[in-house]
Amino acid sequence: MVDHGPRTGAKVALTFDADMTDGMLASLRAGRVKSYANLRILDLLEREQVPATFFLTGKWVQRYPDVTRRIAGNPRFELANHTYGHAAFTADCYDLPRLPVDELAGDVAKTFEVIAPYGGRQTRYFRFPGLCHDAAALDALAPLGVTVVDGDVVSGDPFATAWKPLVRAVLDHVRPGSVVIMHVTEANAAMTDEALPHILAGLRERGLVPAPLSEVLTT
């Protein structure tokens, strides 16, 4: 389990979670929500040639195969696992419905199977929904050989209504080796693309360089 990489050097990891639940799928189908895929984030990262790591849920991948293909096709982007349907892996994890302990490993394995065919820079990194985990959840995943990645810089972008607090939350806490947690879910994280250019500029000012998670954790 890791929160961040070595505090030497200049590399930091920008990570984007792609949550998707049955409730979110229902909102899309009913037209209450336009999109849970923030393409402006991808546009910016691609244009500025910024490396990033995407923690994908299986249901998000199945809803957005073209966007997943776009992520997998970028040699600067890594793909990681954020469960199949963003259910809780412990009790009392926000308001997320909970998966039984004996279904946890299967859920994560199924998600790897959904992501794997897209190729690109596949990893064995895994992030728990809501970062909620306990000993039983970690034991359940041990056979899968995943590295559990939380993060040491929480942007607070879910349901944000202004971009400046996100920029401040990231730039006040980011250090060499940091793993920054953001979301690529548009309707549920509507300010992230507005905050991102300011975050990138602030990292440059601090001499910090975004890198794929695998490089941040190992160097």
- Residues near Zn ion (CB under 5 A) are 17, 19, 129
Task: Rank residues 17 and 107 by Cβ distance to Zn ion and give the closer one.
Answer: 17
Task: Rank residues 4 and 82 by Cβ distance to Zn ion and give the closer one.
Answer: 82
Task: Rank residues 188 and 214 by Cβ distance to Zn ion and give the closer one.
Answer: 188
- Shortest distance (Å) from residue 93 CB to Zn ion: 10
- Shortest distance (Å) from residue 194 CB to Zn ion: 20
- Label residues 8-30 b or e (16+ Cβ within 10 Å = b): eeebbbbbbbbbbbeebbebeee
Task: Rank residues 115 and 208 by Cβ distance to Zn ion and give the closer one.
Answer: 115
- Shortest distance (Å) from residue 126 CB to Zn ion: 12
d(CA 13, CA 121): 15
- Shortest distance (Å) from residue 119 CB to Zn ion: 23
